[in-house]
Amino acid sequence: MGSRPTTRIFNFSAGPAVLPEEVLAQAASEMLDWHGSGMSVMEMSHRGKEFIGIAAQAEKDLRELLKVPANYKVLFLQGGARLHFAAVPMNLLGGKKAADYIYTGEWSKLAIKEANRFCEVNVAASSEGKNFTFAPEQSTWQLDPKSAYVHYVSNETIGGVEFNWIPDTGKVPLVADASSHFLSRPLDVSKFGLIYAGAQKNAGPAGLVIVIVREDLLGRAMQGTPTVLDYKVQAEADSMSNTPASYAWYIAGLVFQWLKKEGGLAAIEKRNIAKAKLLYDFLDASSFFKNHVRKSDRSRMNIPFTLADPKLDAEFLKGAEARGMVQLKGHRAVGGMRASIYNAMPIEGVKRLVEYMREFEAKRG
């Protein structure tokens, strides 16, 4: 990392979230004139050779990072992950009446609610009984062999629960909302029918959703599916059936190049493990701060924690802000605090947070 401009703070937001400074600096330097084109990427026709080149390079780099097999399409779409809560059943039901969903928190709740508009949802496993603090083992899943697909949220952004393993659903396609840990670790894409991720956590700005889908699942969109939501149409149009989120796509491309330069996903995963360990080790040793998630299922990206006395929350947040750390307030659905420490969060940010927590505990604990 280069030297930090003094005005940059440590941003622990769950998304839109911190981006690599090198990426932001490069985008700034290319803002008025991208590579001698005399234009900003924002001003380019998506049909022009410059943007077609940017888009193709981004896809190539993403494929390389994730080792995406050749029989998968990579789509750069819009609407946020939540639109794809609907697009997934619209595209994948293929005439079947039901789909299996794993219920592990706020985002799976919303995915289920949306899928219910299109099909029968069989909740095959749930962690609701334990306040969404764990990822149910596959041995407890009650899958319905008649289901069109099995959906799970592989990292619950709000609860901070991450699947550290990939479920095996046999012939039934596995679908993951991987929004909040996408590109934080290597992933065996071949185990999935479809993976989708909103970009605004680890991959770029809001407005872009990346969908990776196995080719044989295309071409069965239900009647009434909007054309721009039909994954087959978009695959055939290189994600340009309509005007894509071109600037967001370009920034995501810069993030992919940054990831490659940093050593790829295995190297980033190592760093993410070290960052998360720093915070979890502190939490486990503390008698004042607490994380409630089962150890094996703790997220490396989103780390919720509570103070022993919630009356001190406001004071904690105020002190954090005074020390250059923002967006630590937990989601309103669960309260407490949450530190999102995505790829672009430097370890210095986590160190500063832990230092501050230690100091706060000594004073108030």
Minimum CB distance to ligand PMP, residue 191 (Å): 19
Minimum CB distance to ligand PMP, residue 362 (Å): 34
Q: Is the CB of 198 or the CB of 330 nearer to ligand PMP?
A: 198
Q: Is the CB of 179 or the CB of 234 nearer to ligand PMP?
A: 179
Q: Is the CB of 157 or the CB of 286 nearer to ligand PMP?
A: 157
Q: Nearest residue by C-beta to ligand PMP? A: 80
Evaluate whether 88 touches 151 at the Cβ level (below 8 Å): yes
Which positions ≥6 away from 109 have C-beta within 8 Å?
103
Residue 201 is a catalytic residue: yes
Q: For binding to ligand PMP (CB under 6 A), which residues are involved?
A: 14-15, 80-82, 107, 153, 157, 177, 179-180, 198
What is the pairing mode between strands 98-103 and 120-126?
Answer: parallel
Residue 107 is a catalytic residue: yes
On the CB side of 328, CA atoms within 13 Å amount to 27
Choosing from 61, 177, 230, 297, the catalytic residue is 177
Evaluate whether 225 touches 94 at the Cβ level (below 8 Å): no
Minimum CB distance to ligand PMP, residue 145 (Å): 27
Choosing from 34, 73, 100, 107, the catalytic residue is 107
Evaluate whether 148 touches 96 at the Cβ level (below 8 Å): yes
Residue 297 is a catalytic residue: no
Q: Is the CB of 23 or the CB of 153 nearer to ligand PMP?
A: 153
Choosing from 109, 201, 232, 275, the catalytic residue is 201
Minimum CB distance to ligand PMP, residue 52 (Å): 26
Could you give the CA distance from residue 269 to residue 343 in angstroms, rounded to a whole number?
A: 8
Could you give the CA distance from residue 180 to residue 303 in angstroms, rounded to a whole number?
A: 12
Could you give the CA distance from residue 229 to residue 241 in angstroms, rounded to a whole number?
A: 10
Does residue 16 have a cis peptide bond before it, meaning omega lies within 30 degrees of 0? yes
Evaluate whether 91 touches 217 at the Cβ level (below 8 Å): yes
DSSP state of 298: B
Minimum CB distance to ligand PMP, residue 168 (Å): 22
Q: Is the CB of 66 or the CB of 354 nearer to ligand PMP?
A: 66
Catalytic residues: 107, 177, 201
